[in-house]
Amino acid sequence: MSLRPWMTRRFLVALVAMAVLFMLLVAACLRLLASENQITDYITEDMVWLSSQGQYEAVRFADALGSYSHGGIPISEVQLRLDLLSSRIAILEDGEPYRQLQALGQAQSIDDFRVVVDNATERLPSMDQNDATTIALLHGETLSLASSLRDIANAALFGKRDRDTIARQQRRNTLFEVLGTLVATMLAGLILAGILVRDHRNMVSAESALEHERHVSRLHRAFISIVSHQFRTPLAIIDASAQRMIRRGAQMSGEEITSRADKIRAACLRLTRLMESTLNAARLEEGEITVNLRTCDLDALVRNVIDGQPEQDQRRIELKSENLPAAIRADTTLLEQAVQNLISNALKYSPDGKPVVIHARRMGREILISVIDTGVGVPADELDSLFRRFFRARTAEGIPGTGIGLSFAAQIMELHGGRVEVNSEEGHGSTFTLRFPYRRPDTGTDIVSNHNSEMIVRP
């Protein structure tokens, strides 16, 4: 056996085969790149976009004529709309756009468009608001121009579809070539691996170490994101209470100092619970956590979450309890985290001073905790994506957040055998509901709370 495996005939054959396959792969990739460049070049002169822009400006010019006839805008605004329309038509009159119009058989339409624009340019300086005949004529011609531009856009769209079909077929064939070359290259690589790699255990160990490092990195990122999202409220409470004690320490009564200290202690306890929750969130992501069911005072849990909010936010919260059992079985830590996420989101996305209503109730065999706000709402087309980790609706732009709260709440409800429901209208607020099965406490009793149907406004 040769002490130099790279000098054996088998290795040299495999090396030559890999070199040939690599050259074929490069050639296929170059063809794929050329196809991509063709598509990119076409997109830069997209007739659909150009004609649609022309149609848009034509409609705006027609609307401007109507507004001018009613005294809504000055003639300068109408002139501006006409100038924009003229500039859009000018783009279509030469160069690549004009060649595309010729290919579509629409080149003659450009002359008709120019006649309409020139006619409007000639009449507009001498036109006044009472010249109803001229305004109506220009309005009709402009709408006809917009309709023609729409027809061109449709024709261009169909033409683009046909060209894209051909381009996709070419790309598909090239990708098949790339795939075949890759498979052949892999086979040649396996031969080389069989010659050069002798210690399989070391390779497995290295892969295992790399995967462990990736796992630790994922946990670290999850931890940091959850900490940044969830730790702000208790830290704000601690900071506010401490600043007040610093400013007014000498004038504060013993009761007030005790109250402030209790708030700081409660916030510290909440930070401890949040630390546990962040670790649980990372374990949730990996499917390594189960629900720890124990007796839970649901009303007290919700009130504790409310008390953990900043003072200015507590005044906005209205709590409504209805037919609520005195005790249930649930994972108190996880359930509190889910409620906290919904309440903090409602406060954050609602205007200052607007109320946030919390409606906790039992319905049959289920417990429902609804958080109702009048905030920015969620667009209807994004509701299905709302519970994806790190997803944020476009209405949340400019509002701080990481997009993990709702995902975490949905995972918690899933572990409880429940779900999170949402009813939202963009610009009119949202209602998020935690819905999970009612489980009796260990005693087996089902005592109804004393404040049924009582509306409590937090001070």
Query: Is residue 345 within 8 Å of residue 230, measured between CB atoms?
Result: no
**Predicted confidence (pLDDT) per residue in 315-359, tens digit:** 899 999 998 998 999 999 889 989 998 998 899 888 888 999 999
Residue by residue, DSSP assigns 341-389 as HHHHHHHHHSPTT--EEEEEEEETTEEEEEEE--SS---GGGGGGTTST
How does residue 367 score in pLDDT terms, banded at 50, 70 and 90?
very high
From the CB of residue 223, how many other CB atoms can be counted at a distance below 10 Å?
A: 15
CA Rg value for the chain? 34
- Sorted by where each begins, the domain ranges of the chain are 1-198, 203-289, 294-457
CB-based contacts of 443, cutoff 8 Å, min separation 6? 327
What b/e sequence results for 13-45 when a residue is b if at least 16 CB atoms lie within 10 Å of its CB, and e otherwise?
ebeebbeebeebbeebeebbeebeeeeeebeee
Per-residue pLDDT band at 202 (split at 50, 70, 90): low
Tell me which of 1.20.1050.10, 1.20.1250.20, 3.40.190.10, 1.10.287.130 is the CATH number of domain 203-289. 1.10.287.130
More confident call, 433 vs 245: 433
Q: Right CATH number for 294-457 from 3.40.50.300, 3.40.50.1820, 3.20.20.30, 3.30.565.10?
A: 3.30.565.10
- Give the CA distances from residue 182 to residues 34, 185, 188, 297, in Å, rounded to whole numbers and listed in that order: 19, 5, 10, 61
**CB within 8 Å of 354: residues ≥ 6 apart:** 316, 373, 374, 375
Return the DSSP state at 124. Answer: G
8 A C-beta contact, residue 263 and residue 245: no
Q: Is the dihedral of CA 414, 416, 417, 422 positive or negative?
A: negative
Residue 1 has pLDDT above 50, yes or no: no
Query: Which residues, 6 or more positions from 325, have their beta carbon under 8 angstroms from its beta carbon?
Result: 298, 362, 367, 438, 440, 446, 447, 448, 449
Please report, rounded to a whole number, the percentage of residues in the chain having pLDDT higher than 70.
77
| pLDDT computed for residue 339 by the predictor | 94
**Angle 292-297-299 from CA coordinates, rounded to 5°:** 130
The model's pLDDT over 126-165, given as tens digits with 9 standing for 90+, comes to 888 888 888 888 888 888 888 888 888 888 778 777 777 8
Q: One-letter amino acid identity for 284?
A: L
- Letter for the amino acid at 347? L
213: left (phi over 0), alpha (psi -120 to 50) or beta: alpha
Band of residue 363 on the pLDDT scale cut at 50, 70, 90: very high
For tokens 């994922």, name the residue.
Answer: 218
Specify the residue for token string 């830069």.
Answer: 44
